[in-house]
């Protein structure tokens, strides 16, 4: 289970929580109330890979009073931030160290077991899903929200440079596939969740995209647009120094991208110069996550 990197990313996760929401509240309410029907009675919730406790902040206010939430993670620093966030909380919340591959709970312990952007970072996601199903009660819900990076790359748009037409999709696809073959980590697992859930015996499978699309529309930028610009600069669209350029080139080549293509990708990236020009670019950013729900027989 990959944990060392994320245990150092508490600041990033907290920043995402406060400045770059990936959902619209009305849509989440619709899913929880009308689609997943999780508001009928209090339930026992387990989140696998809870990080700094971002999910219960939006989830628990939508669930019935008396709901009990448990979050597990391998990262001590992340759990400390989660504990701090919920120190004065009125909700029944507990955080503890745990491993997605070997959940320290009895069979049939929870009504709802969930992940958000966790399976996509695991070397053995299938094993984690098996464990999630195991600790879910009969008739309970398994729910995952995961990404599909190939889809994001295809939809990310910058008007001034026609990024949809110029994005090197084949290179990104090849890189993600090589990473999967080498490590087991599948950055496109979101689109595969319905099949994986069915293979693990889940029924009444429902699959949805999240509904949020963010954008930057100059010349006048709202605080939310500025937050998106800053987040993109931090998350991989900032300027590269020589060391970073060399490391990126080496990684792309190791992940199956031809050197000539790598040189074109890096040249295009530097020409776009999002950090220098992003506040002038008309940019559309798809928060491409897939929700998948299954019911345990």
Measure the CA–CA gap between 282 and 286, rounded to whole angstroms.
14
Taking residues 233-262, what's their average pLDDT?
93
Given pLDDT bands bounded at 50, 70 and 90, which one contains residue 225? very high
Q: Domain 6-148+188-211+288-296 class? A: alpha beta
What pLDDT does 20 receive?
Answer: 56
| Residue 218 in tokens | 């100059």
What pLDDT does 145 receive?
Answer: 96
Given pLDDT bands bounded at 50, 70 and 90, which one contains residue 19? low
- Report DSSP state, residue 49: S
What pLDDT does 7 receive?
Answer: 52
Taking residues 132-149, what's their average pLDDT?
97
What pLDDT does 234 receive?
Answer: 87
What pLDDT does 222 receive?
Answer: 95
Q: CB neighbours of 92 closer than 8 A, spacing ≥ 6? A: 66, 67, 68, 69
User: pLDDT of 166-221, one tens digit each?
Assistant: 889 999 999 999 999 999 999 999 999 999 999 999 999 999 999 899 999 999 99
Taking residues 137-160, what's their average pLDDT?
96
Spatial CA neighbour of 146 closest among 189, 202, 177: 189
Q: Where are the alpha helices (DSSP H) in 33-189?
A: 54-59, 76-85, 125-134, 149-155, 163-166, 169-183
The 3-state DSSP class for residue 206 equals strand
> For the chain, where do the domains classified as CATH 3.40.50.150 start and end?
6-148+188-211+288-296
Given pLDDT bands bounded at 50, 70 and 90, which one contains residue 15? low
The answer to whether residue 10 scores a pLDDT higher than 50 is no
If you average pLDDT over every residue of the chain, what do you get?
A: 92
The answer to whether residue 291 scores a pLDDT higher than 50 is yes
Buried b (16+ CB within 10 A) or exposed e, 261-294: ebeebbeebeebebbeebbebebbbbbbbbbbbb
Q: CB neighbours of 64 closer than 8 A, spacing ≥ 6? A: 39, 40, 41, 42, 43
The answer to whether residue 11 scores a pLDDT higher than 90 is no
What percent of the chain stands above pLDDT 90? 86
What pLDDT does 1 receive?
Answer: 44
123 contacts 185 by C-beta, under 8 angstroms: yes
Taking residues 88-101, what's their average pLDDT?
95
Spatial CA neighbour of 294 closest among 165, 199, 159, 178: 199
Taking residues 262-277, what's their average pLDDT?
95
């Amino acid at each position: 289970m990959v944990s060392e990197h994320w245990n150092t990313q508490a600041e990033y996760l907290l920043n995402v929580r406060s400045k770059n929401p990936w959902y619209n509240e009305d849509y989440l309410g619709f899913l929880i109330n009308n689609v997943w029907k999780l508001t009928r009675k209090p339930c026992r919730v387990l989140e696998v890979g809870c990080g700094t406790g971002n999910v219960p902040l939006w989830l628990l206010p939508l669930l019935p009073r008396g709901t009990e939430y448990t979050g597990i993670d391998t990262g001590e620093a992340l759990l400390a931030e989660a504990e701090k966030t919920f120190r004065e909380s009125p909700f029944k919340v507990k955080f503890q160290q745990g491993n997605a591959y070997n959940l320290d709970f009895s069979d049939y312990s929870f009504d709802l077991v969930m992940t958000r952007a966790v399976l996509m970072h695991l070397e053995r996601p299938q094993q984690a899903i098996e464990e999630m199903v195991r600790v879910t009660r009969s008739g309970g819900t398994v729910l995952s929200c995961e990404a599909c990076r190939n889809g994001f790359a295809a939809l990310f748009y910058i008007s001034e440079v026609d990024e949809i037409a110029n994005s090197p999709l084949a290179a990104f696809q090849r890189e993600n596939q090589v990473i999967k073959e080498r490590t087991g980590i599948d950055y496109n697992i979101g689109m595969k969740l319905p099949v994986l859930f069915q293979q693990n015996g889940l029924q009444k499978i429902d699959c949805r995209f999240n509904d949020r699309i963010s954008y930057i529309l100059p010349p006048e930028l709202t605080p939310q647009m500025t937050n998106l610009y800053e987040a993109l600069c931090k998350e991989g669209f900032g300027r590269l120094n020589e060391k970073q350029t060399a490391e990126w080139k080496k990684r792309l080549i190791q992940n199956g991208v031809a050197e000539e293509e790598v040189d074109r990708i890096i040249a295009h990236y530097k020409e776009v110069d999002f950090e220098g020009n992003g506040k002038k670019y008309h940019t559309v950013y798809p928060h491409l996550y897939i929700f998948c729900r299954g019911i345990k027989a």
